[in-house]
């Protein structure tokens, strides 16, 4: 898997984001959901596959309600080391704004196979445009699918929660933000009247 696009879009002497090559994960496959206050506030959903993070930008954030089929725009692969990235991408850089981790954990292929087979199976599902997986996160749990759509643009997928014991009726990811959220702190500061400049 290539990180060419990822590297092309970024200037690593300016952004604190990891330049990292693929990287290797031992054992379980990981996922992360980052909340990203860029031009627009959105969520980035990333699944580890083949040493990189397959990535989708989810404008409305993931939902535990199976009725919410969340648009997920596939973006460039990110390095595995991006899994732990939180920080501020400076103005003028690609994706400028605050990135914070919203959820993280491990995931497994829906079909029960051992780890080595799981990655092959998942890559095959990715190719076919329908990935079925189980998330073991703090917020996101249970059975999910990412399904490539037709007629909504080349990179448009839908992130869908399957019905199981973790499904809920109403869900808004914005209601599940850590009280330590840097994004929310920054946003509340911006709302206050600005202090006189010296």
Is residue 76 within 8 A of residue 155, CB to CB? The reply is no
**Smallest distance, Å, CB 57 to Mn ion?**
5
* Token pair of 69 as six digits: 């089929």
d(CA 33, CA 100) in angstroms, rounded, equals: 9
Select 36 or 83, whichever has its Cβ closest to Mn ion.
Answer: 36
Reported as type and span, the H/E element at residue 12 is none
**Smallest distance, Å, CB 68 to Mn ion?**
20
Residues of the shown chain interacting with Mn ion in the complex, contacts defined by CB under 5 A? 36, 44
Select 36 or 54, whichever has its Cβ closest to Mn ion.
Answer: 36
Which single residue brings its beta carbon nearest to Mn ion?
36
d(CA 9, CA 6) in angstroms, rounded, equals: 6
In 3-state terms, what secondary structure has residue 122?
helix
Select 17 or 44, whichever has its Cβ closest to Mn ion.
Answer: 44
**Smallest distance, Å, CB 118 to Mn ion?**
26
In 3-state terms, what secondary structure has residue 119?
helix
**Smallest distance, Å, CB 91 to Mn ion?**
15
Is residue 10 within 8 A of residue 93, CB to CB? The reply is yes
Least Cα distance to 35 among 125, 102, 123 occurs for 102
Select 44 or 110, whichever has its Cβ closest to Mn ion.
Answer: 44
């Amino acid at each position: 898997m290539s990180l060419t696009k990822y590297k092309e879009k970024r200037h690593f002497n300016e952004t604190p984001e990891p330049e990292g090559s693929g990287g290797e994960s031992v054992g379980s496959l990981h996922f992360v959901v980052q909340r990203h206050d860029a031009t627009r506030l959105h969520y980035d959903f990333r699944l580890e596959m083949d040493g990189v993070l397959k990535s989708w930008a989810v404008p409305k954030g993931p939902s535990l309600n199976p009725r919410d089929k969340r648009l997920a725009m596939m973006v460039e692969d990110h390095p595995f080391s991006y899994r732990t990235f939180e920080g501020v991408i400076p103005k003028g850089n690609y994706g400028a704004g605050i990135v914070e981790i919203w959820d993280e954990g491990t995931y497994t292929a829906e079909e029960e196979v051992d780890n080595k087979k799981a990655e092959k199976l998942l890559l095959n599902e990715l190719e076919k445009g329908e990935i079925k997986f189980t998330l073991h996160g703090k917020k996101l749990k249970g059975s999910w699918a990412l399904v490539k759509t037709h007629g909504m643009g080349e990179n448009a997928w839908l992130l869908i929660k399957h019905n199981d014991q973790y499904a809920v009726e109403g869900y808004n990811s914005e209601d599940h933000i850590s009280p330590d959220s840097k994004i929310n702190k920054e946003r509340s500061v911006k709302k206050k009247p600005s202090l006189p400049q010296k």
